[in-house]
Amino acid sequence: MLDLFDLAALPGLASADGFVTPAEEAALIAHIDGAGLTPFKFQQWTGKRLTRSFGWSYDFETGRVAPTEPIPFSLEPVRARAANFAGLVPADLIQALVIRYDPGTGIGWHKDRPVYEHILGLSLGAPATMRFRRRINGKFERATAPLAPCAIYHLSGEARHGWEHSITEMDVPRWSITFRSLARSR
């Protein structure tokens, strides 16, 4: 298993610590907690994490992405900085997904839906570990990357399309904001 303290070891994964200040982090956490979160639903299954989508939302029952409430003005400055970090324009980031992970909550192995291309995550509240895996010759190759509070990560290219990722369950609360762009027709 690789530890990705040198994130160049996984092409398509970039990160930066200290992306927001502690004061900005506190304001973002308060925004997330006041956003009317609901349990994540995947077909007939209800997850432990609490979420809310802005801009666009993905319906796991129909497999469609559709407009929902606009991205709140309070998230626009961090959206613009996230876009700049990824070399995108803010309008490219069409979805803001806010999440609270209460103690005992993580997120299982997955790849984001193919309708999305760039995935940018802002990690808030507590350090976490993002795990990566891909199947090669019947076995899993694995890697991990630390997610510090106030840090951002960007999944694109190989890290986005060739690897699954997950976040381990934690003993303390954690929050995140995930920005996504739509995939261009191929």
**Structural domains present in the chain:** 2-182 (2.60.120.590)
pLDDT tens per residue, range 91-148 = 999 999 999 999 988 888 988 888 889 999 999 999 999 999 999 999 999 999 999 9
- pLDDT band for 162, please (50, 70, 90 cuts): very high
CA distance 1 to 8: 15
Residue 53: strand pairing partners: 97
pLDDT tens per residue, range 22-57 = 999 999 999 999 998 877 665 556 567 788 999 988
Q: Which of 165, 121, 112, 116 is nearest to 140 (CA)?
A: 165
- pLDDT band for 8, please (50, 70, 90 cuts): very low
pLDDT at residue 43, rounded to an integer:
53
DSSP alpha helix (H) spans, 7-148: 22-33, 76-86
CA distance 172 to 9: 29
Asked if residue 116 lies in contact with residue 147, where contact means CB atoms within 8 angstroms, the answer is no
